[in-house]
Amino acid sequence: MKRLLTLFVLCFGTPFIVSAAPASVVVFAAASLTDAIGELAGRYQAEGHGGVTASFASSSDLARQIEQGAPVDMFISADEEWADYLDQRGLLDKPSRHVLLTNELVLVAAADNPITLEIKANFPLDAALGDGRLAVGDPDHVPAGIYAKQALHTLGVWTALEPKLARAASVRAALNFVDRGECPFGIVYRSDAMHDAKVRIIGMFPPGSHAPVTYPIALLAGRKSAESLAFLHYLEAPEAVATFRRYGFGPGSRSVGE
């Protein structure tokens, strides 16, 4: 009998269980991968492969849970820093680590907000905000927020905007602030914004304004198995690459079979 897909969406450290069932591969993935990994894991099982349990939150929260002993087979981070954090502690299987995906950082507003802004040095986002707040992943630990801080620094507007930040626990939470009308603007990934009909992408931050947005993937040390390797290769296969592209992600650094 095929096993059911189990998804855990972690918000502020609390798992929301969509469907509980036994699973053979446990995946911790950045919140921005919720939809894409959820679809791929469901398809993987529908095709007759083993079970998958996927949990989503900010990369920092997931890395700390792994450090504390969470029984995880695979980690997909939204930046290199948190993969490095685990790697330096001997918790990753080094040969399996590589960049699975890339992404872009964008400025969003509500879909009915007609404002136009050119994202460049000293652009007037502070004036456009007025008394409102700018939704971002917490720049102290959430990768999307860290990228946002880098970009705003590079463009010379960080000092003015820092007091106006609405710091969210994940990039999805930041997007929700704009989606619900709680913040007039937000900085999120293109992959998140392009699938939310309630927000509009105003523009993309210049790639040189922040570190490249990469998603390193790795198996955990001591957790390499036939099941975890099979799902890893499934995520690298052309069909999965096409799915990731549909969700707004760019290609990584390795294809299946390498």
User: What CATH number corresponds to the domain at position 31?
Assistant: 3.40.190.10
pLDDT digits (tens, 9 = 90+) for 13-59: 433 333 334 458 999 999 999 999 999 999 999 999 989 999 999 99
Q: How many domains does the chain have?
A: 2
Q: Note whether 152 and 158 are within 8 A (CB).
A: yes
pLDDT digits (tens, 9 = 90+) for 94-140: 999 999 999 999 999 999 999 999 999 999 999 999 999 999 999 99
The domain in which residue 122 lies consists of 105-204
The answer to whether residue 210 sits within a structural domain is no
- The two three-digit tokens of residue 95, written as one number: 């040969």
The answer to whether residue 257 sits within a structural domain is no
Q: What is the pLDDT of residue 24?
A: 84
The answer to whether residue 209 sits within a structural domain is no
Distance CA 19, CA 42 (A): 11
Q: What is the pLDDT of residue 207?
A: 87
The answer to whether residue 220 sits within a structural domain is yes
Q: Are 147 and 184 in the same domain?
A: yes
Q: How confident is the model at residue 2 (pLDDT cuts 50, 70, 90)?
A: very low
Q: Are 95 and 16 in the same domain?
A: yes
Q: Are 93 and 110 in the same domain?
A: no
Task: Phi first, then psi: give them for residue 251, nearest 5 degrees.
Answer: -75, 160
Q: Note whether 139 and 167 are within 8 A (CB).
A: yes
Range name among 17-21, 159-163, 171-175 with the lowest pLDDT average = 17-21
Q: How confident is the model at residue 254 (pLDDT cuts 50, 70, 90)?
A: low
Q: Are 109 and 189 in the same domain?
A: yes
The answer to whether residue 258 sits within a structural domain is no
pLDDT digits (tens, 9 = 90+) for 5-21: 444 444 334 333 333 34
Q: Are 63 and 17 in the same domain?
A: yes
Kind plus residue range of the DSSP H or E element containing 217: strand 213-219
Q: What is the pLDDT of residue 18?
A: 33
- The two three-digit tokens of residue 82, written as one number: 């948190």
Q: What is the pTM of this model?
A: 0.84
The answer to whether residue 76 sits within a structural domain is yes
The answer to whether residue 139 sits within a structural domain is yes
Q: Note whether 186 and 136 are within 8 A (CB).
A: yes
Alpha-carbon distance values, 120 to 39, 105, 150, 209, 216 (Å) = 36, 14, 13, 9, 29
Place of tokens 């079979």: 257
The answer to whether residue 81 sits within a structural domain is yes
On the question of pLDDT at 1 being above 60, the answer is: no
Q: Are 48 and 92 in the same domain?
A: yes
Place of tokens 């760019």: 250
